[in-house]
Amino acid sequence: MSEALQASLPIAIALALSPAPIIAIFILLMTPKAAINGPSFLAGWFGGIYTVGVIMFILPGMEEDHSDPTRLSGYIRVALGLFLLIGALRYWLKRPKPGETVPTPKIFLHIDRFGFWKSFFTGILFSVVNVKNFALSAAGASTIDEVAQNDQGIYLDLAVFALIGSLMIILPIVVYTIAGKKIEGRFQYWKHWMIQNNHLLLIILLIVLGGVLIKGGLEILG
């Protein structure tokens, strides 16, 4: 594993553990078109992460001598970190009361009716339009660009970063391919559990990643 990938690994893991796309893939794999919907959602999710990363690479002002980050990249890290901490506070204030049943978010109510293209664009929606995941993808690409020793390998590193960020979508697809319909009961259980604990999972994830990004940004600016 390259040094750039090692530096961006915590962010890729945070992307992989994002609850919403995991819930979505569980639902899609319980549809009649699971064999089509699952991979198409994965393609949209992966493509969205990669596209955000490419945008970060070519963003004006991000050019740098590798291993010597620019001040702009430091400001971007601090801003993304603050954004994630604000998100954690927002989720804390809106957390369910003890014993309260969490309703299924509206975005998940119609996924079971999706086909190929709607599944694909839902993957893009979760990776690009979702501001938390967009921020994580941007931070990961910025880290790769800072740490990479040359320009030749950054796009391959970005592809591996996006692949790691997709692992918790890939794994259910692999399990479904092997076990088929027999695994639907387990998917149903994990979908319900993640919906009920979504706020707690996001709060922990956002606090940890927000702190990491702010620390890294301040080190660049300091």
- Residue 216: the pLDDT is 78
Rg over CA atoms, the chain: 18
Q: Is 180 left (phi over 0), alpha (psi -120 to 50) or beta?
A: left
- Residue 173: the pLDDT is 96
Q: CB neighbours (10 Å) of residue 85?
A: 17
- Token output for 75: 């400001």
- Residue 212: the pLDDT is 81
Determine if the pTM surpasses 0.85.
no
- Residue 98: the pLDDT is 75
pLDDT in tens, 15-26: 998 889 999 999
**In the chain, what is the greatest distance between 2 CA atoms, to the nearest angstrom?**
55
Residue whose structure tokens are 């391959």: 156
Identify which has the larger pLDDT, 128 or 4.
128
Q: CB neighbours (10 Å) of residue 39?
A: 19
pLDDT band of 58, cuts 50, 70, 90: confident
pLDDT in tens, 87-99: 889 888 888 777 7
Given a contact cutoff of 8 angstroms between Cβ atoms, the answer to whether 141 and 53 are in contact is: yes
